[in-house]
Amino acid sequence: MCTYLSFKYIPQRYKFAFCVAIVFPFVYLPCFWEIILGNDSPIKVEDKNYQLLSKKILLEEAVHIAIEKNPQLQSTRDQVDAATGLLRQSKLYPNPVLELLAEEIPTHEVGLNQSQNLVAITQPIIMGGKRNLGIKVSEKSREKSELERDAVLLNIIADTKKVFYKVAADQEALAMAKKIEKIARDIYGSEKVRFDAGEVALTNVLRAEVELSKARNFVSNAKGNLQNSIRELQTVMGVPEETIDGVTGKLLSRPAELSFHELELKMNNNQPILKASRKNIEIAETQVLLDKRQVVPDINVSAGYKRITLENLDTVQFGIAIPTPLFNRNQGNIQKSNALSRKTKSENQSIYNELLFQLKRNFNSYNVERKRIAEFRDKILPRAEESLRLITKGYKEGEFNYIDLLDAQRTWAETRISYIESLKNLNLLIADIERLAVVKIGEQ
């Protein structure tokens, strides 16, 4: 049994309404799906943020996102906020104590008619300048937290730059791998044509095929390295779930000449890790003074009103309570703070020595890589390029054999790859030197 749908003639005046009724579900149904089902809707709306993040980013953008999103940096910001709260608390004066006391209440009568009733207030008075010293310790602790935050900020910026440079180098390595694959493919095609024409032996075709396979594997490895570097960049930036296609920008190839004396001076004056270490010394020395002042007792001053009901007397009371430091003169804490003060000085020297060692090592490596890159750029690369061009031309004219061409191709490829690796190493060293000396290194 078949069912047929039939439509009668639709009058002219109803045609518009009929068209609206037909078009309406197709136009507005996706919106209703989205409103009713939310994320489970079968109709997906394009995410504008995805379009913004799914692209190649600049170094400045990567650093800005890392500063905003990196959880480690957010943790240090919270630590500064906590130190600010401690400083605020240290400035608050001790609260007074309100005392309500009823004495000599008879057992046979409940009430205050026959008792002695006291209302008094006691205020601790901090002596010996301990409160100001405590505030000073809190102020220096907050300054130390701010310096530690700045040190983490420098590390995150340096780490972001280093991974950014790795991505840039891997992008260049991938582009070079594709060039090598193209050369190998062209040679393979040429050898196959010549073999078909009877000009070369089969071994030439087989060798060319092997080199083409190696080139394709090289491209595959380069793609994998690039993807890993991009994922590492996303993690350092604090956006591991977002999509980044790569980076935009070139590696520094002609960085300025550096002076180690100037770098050491800037590190000594500007490095927040060193400043935080010195701030530790100031905190420890202030704590020594505070512990020594603890021997000065605080005074509790009290005043109150006392009503003696049986005698119908109103009295006023005053009192001063002064602890006597006969046995406990804070000897143990003073010994501890003196030892910690010496410890902070030793730690400061150790931190300085370690930073100075890192700066010397990176400075020496920087000069080595800088000279190596200049040698590549001015001599090695042009000669390898010219050698490949001449041997390729001579091979086509019959002056060189296939082994000569293969050696020239390998030399050219290894030279380009080594140059990219040196560029990457140089830029990683630049990021470390900028972090240690708190400087900006640019092109010549």
Interhelix angle for 130-196 vs 402-437, to 10°?
170
pLDDT at 112: 63
Question: Within a domain: residue 348?
Answer: yes
253 CB-side CA count, 13 A: 14
What is the rounded distance in angstroms from the CA atom of residue 149 to the CA atom of residue 143? 10
Name residues whose C-beta falls within 8 Å of residue 180's C-beta, 6 or more positions apart in sequence.
Answer: 215, 218, 219, 409, 413
End-to-end CA, the chain: 88
What is the rounded distance in angstroms from the CA atom of residue 202 to the CA atom of residue 183? 19
**392 burial class (0-12, 13-18, 19+ CB within 10 angstroms)?**
buried
Name residues whose C-beta falls within 8 Å of residue 236's C-beta, 6 or more positions apart in sequence.
Answer: 66, 70, 156, 159, 160, 163
387 CB-side CA count, 13 A: 17
Length of the chain: 444
CA 44 from centroid of its chain's CA atoms: 33
Q: How many helices (H) and strands (E) would you count in the chain?
A: 11, 6
**Token pair belonging to 307:** 């009503």
**Token pair belonging to 266:** 């800037």
DSSP calls for 320-333: EE----SS--SHHH
Question: Within a domain: residue 34?
Answer: no
pLDDT at 177: 93
**Token pair belonging to 346:** 């030793």
What is the rounded distance in angstroms from the CA atom of residue 192 to the CA atom of residue 214? 18
* Spans of the chain below 70 pLDDT: 1-54, 107-114
Question: Within a domain: residue 81?
Answer: yes
Q: Mind listing the pLDDT tens digit for each residue in 30-45?
A: 443 333 333 333 333 3
Question: Within a domain: residue 2?
Answer: no
pLDDT at 33: 34
Q: Mind listing the pLDDT tens digit for each residue in 5-23?
A: 333 344 444 444 444 344 4
pLDDT at 437: 95
48 CB-side CA count, 13 A: 0
Q: What range defines the domain where residue 289 resides? A: 56-92+126-295+330-437
Question: Within a domain: residue 37?
Answer: no
CA 284 from centroid of its chain's CA atoms: 30
CA distances from 327 to 126, 297, 323 (A): 20, 13, 11
Region of residue 44 (phi > 0: left; psi between -120 and 50: alpha; otherwise: beta)? beta
Cβ-contact 242, 234 below 8 angstroms = yes
Question: Which CATH number covers residue 257?
Answer: 1.20.1600.10
Q: What percent of the chain has pLDDT over 70?
A: 86
Which DSSP category does 8 fall into?
P
**Token pair belonging to 166:** 């790795």
Question: Within a domain: residue 208?
Answer: yes
What is the rounded distance in angstroms from the CA atom of residue 375 to the CA atom of residue 364? 17
Interhelix angle for 260-270 vs 272-293, to 10°?
40
pLDDT at 223: 95
pLDDT at 111: 64
What is the rounded distance in angstroms from the CA atom of residue 411 to the CA atom of residue 404? 11
pLDDT at 109: 66
Q: What percent of the chain has pLDDT over 90?
A: 60
Question: Within a domain: residue 181?
Answer: yes
Q: Which helix (H) or strand (E) holds 295?
A: none
Question: Within a domain: residue 24?
Answer: no
pLDDT at 110: 64
Name residues whose C-beta falls within 8 Å of residue 359's C-beta, 6 or more positions apart in sequence.
Answer: 260, 263, 264, 267, 433, 436, 437
Q: Mind listing the pLDDT tens digit for each residue in 282-320?
A: 999 999 999 999 999 999 999 998 888 777 888 888 999
**Token pair belonging to 234:** 């996303």
When divided into structural domains, the chain yields a total of: 1
What is the rounded distance in angstroms from the CA atom of residue 304 to the CA atom of residue 71? 55
